[in-house]
Amino acid sequence: MATVENLERTKTAKTRARKPAIAEVEADRIIEQDCVAAMASLPDACIDMVFADPPYNLQLGGDLFRPEGSMVDAVDDDWDKFDTFAIYDKFTRAWLKEARRILKPNGTLWVIGSYHNIFRVGAALQDEGYWILNDIVWRKANPMPNFRGTRFTNAHETMIWASKSEKAKYTFNYKTMKSLNDELQMRSDWLIPICAGQERIKDGGKKAHPTQKPEALLYRVMLASTKPGDVVLDPFFGTGTTGAVARRLGRKWIGVEREPRYCDVARKRIAEALPLDESALQTMRANEAQPKVPFGALIETEMLKPGAFLMDTKRRWKAEVRIDGTLVCGDKEGSIHKLGALLQDAPSCNGWTFWHFESGDGLQPIDTLREQYRLAHFP
């Protein structure tokens, strides 16, 4: 079926075969302008990688207070407000289209978002002709809890990594990623702390930008998908995390940012960005701590069945396992640790070694099940 799009693609490919339409562009600068207009001012095919952190279109209700009474400092900036999904979609398609035009044929795009916007962005970029390579989950080591106990703690954000088209020969530094991950393939879920402490840029004592991303995240993104000397463009530059990391890693950068006060902060920050030292790279190794196995996981996987009975070594107490991972013994109930402490009238108790299950060889501590779980699932 020879659609207009097909014809266009064929023609573009042929043109490129004759002369690679890759343009040079002035880099290491901030364009203080609206993101679509700024990208429109750049030539075709001049960018190696785009990293975009667009507005999430959060739709927050009233104020939210923590249990102890303090108020949560929410994102209420005007730049995050859109009246309808249709308007947000239009905005999204506009910047994705421009970004695709200025990307080199083998360039790639990264977008980060939350459930509020990422599905719309993902669908839009597929529609625009991008080819998704991976979706990456940024697991936050220290997310904000859900204070009202109404949902699951929102503990991650999603990034989409896409090439300009299906057949593109994009850059992926496989070995670099593998060595960064203790010689195991880098997975699609990354555990990285949120941006806080010294790294968080302050302006008059308050955070300079409500959604500053951690540099570790950009390090991994750039190390994975660009080469030294590549030009990285960030159409929602904010306080310039992308620029700072690009400079450290020897990549060129272009930032697009509308707000003058963010631009000022970014310029100062990037000027201060020191060349990369090895120790910084070491600390961002992807080594994760020994994975924690909650007692509930043994029940979900049926290593222990709800209704089973657990005992202490001397069979003094006998407790029944319930579906939610709590134990019940007479009129007392609680987690494996809590109930163990309660029954012994002790201040605390390690339930993993206190509770045992009946096996062919007599009583065995449930810790052996945790060990089995780890062996089976974390080779």
Residues 341-360 that bind DNA (CB under 7 A): 348-353
Q: Does 363 bind DNA (CB under 7 A)?
A: no
Residues 48-67 that bind its own copies (CB under 8 A): 63, 65
Q: Does 234 bind DNA (CB under 7 A)?
A: no
In the structure encoding, which two tokens stand for residue 158, read together? Answer: 């999603």
d(CA 308, CA 325): 11
* Selected binder of DNA within 30, 39, 51, 53 (CB under 7 A): 53
Q: Does 144 bind DNA (CB under 7 A)?
A: yes
Residues 238-257 that bind DNA (CB under 7 A): none
Residues 117-136 that bind DNA (CB under 7 A): 126, 131-134
249 binds, among its own copies, DNA, none (CB under 5 to 8 A by kind): its own copies
For residue 258, give the DSSP letter: S
* Selected binder of DNA within 1, 18, 19, 70 (CB under 7 A): 70
- The count of other CB atoms within 10 Å of the CB of residue 48 is 23
Q: Does 193 bind its own copies (CB under 8 A)?
A: yes
SS3 of residue 160 by DSSP: strand
Q: Does 16 bind DNA (CB under 7 A)?
A: no
Which range, of 112-120, 227-235, 244-252, 253-261, touches DNA by CB under 7 A? 112-120
Q: Does 18 bind DNA (CB under 7 A)?
A: no
d(CA 125, CA 112): 13
Instruction: Pick between residue 133 and residue 137 the one whose CB is nearest to DNA.
Output: 133
Total residues interacting with DNA, rule: CB under 7 A: 78
55 binds, among its own copies, DNA, none (CB under 5 to 8 A by kind): DNA
Answer whether 134's CB lies under 8 Å from 120's CB.
no
Which range, of 27-35, 45-53, 98-106, 169-177, touches its own copies by CB under 8 A? 169-177
Picking from 272, 271, 235, the residue whose alpha carbon sits closest to that of residue 255 is 235
Residues 171-200 that bind DNA (CB under 7 A): 174-175, 178, 183-185, 193-198, 200
The full DSSP string for 79-134 is GG--S-HHHHHHHHHHHHHHHHHHEEEEEEEEEEE-TTTHHHHHHHHHHTT-EEEE
Beta bridge partners of 329: 332
Answer whether 195's CB lies under 8 Å from 213's CB.
yes
Picking from 107, 129, 14, the residue whose alpha carbon sits closest to that of residue 52 is 107
Q: What is the nearest approach in angstroms of DNA to the Cβ of residue 72?
A: 5
Q: How far is CA 137 from CA 83, 118, 159, 191, 277, in A?
A: 28, 12, 6, 8, 27
Q: What is the nearest approach in angstroms of DNA to the Cβ of residue 232?
A: 18
3 binds, among its own copies, DNA, none (CB under 5 to 8 A by kind): its own copies
Q: Does 378 bind its own copies (CB under 8 A)?
A: yes
Residues 200-229 that bind DNA (CB under 7 A): 200, 207, 210-212
CA 286 distance to own-chain centroid: 13
Q: Does 221 bind its own copies (CB under 8 A)?
A: no
For residue 62, give the DSSP letter: S
Q: Does 116 bind its own copies (CB under 8 A)?
A: yes
> What region, left, alpha or beta, does residue 330 occupy, with left being phi > 0 and alpha being psi -120 to 50 degrees?
left
Q: Does 68 bind DNA (CB under 7 A)?
A: yes
Q: Does 141 bind DNA (CB under 7 A)?
A: yes
In the structure encoding, which two tokens stand for residue 294, read together? Answer: 């909650």
* Selected binder of its own copies within 14, 18, 24, 183 (CB under 8 A): 183
For residue 336, give the DSSP letter: H
Q: How far is CA 260 from CA 33, 38, 250, 257, 348, in A?
A: 9, 14, 26, 8, 55
Angle, CA 11 vertex, CA 7 and CA 16 arms, to 5°: 150
Residues 283-322 that bind DNA (CB under 7 A): 286, 290, 292-295
Q: Does 60 bind DNA (CB under 7 A)?
A: yes
43 binds, among DNA, its own copies, none (CB under 5 to 8 A by kind): none
Instruction: Pick between residue 144 and residue 376 the one whose CB is nearest to DNA.
Output: 144
Total residues interacting with its own copies, rule: CB under 8 A: 120
d(CA 320, CA 328): 5
Site string for its own copies, 69-88 (x = CB under 8 A): x-x------xxxxxx-x---
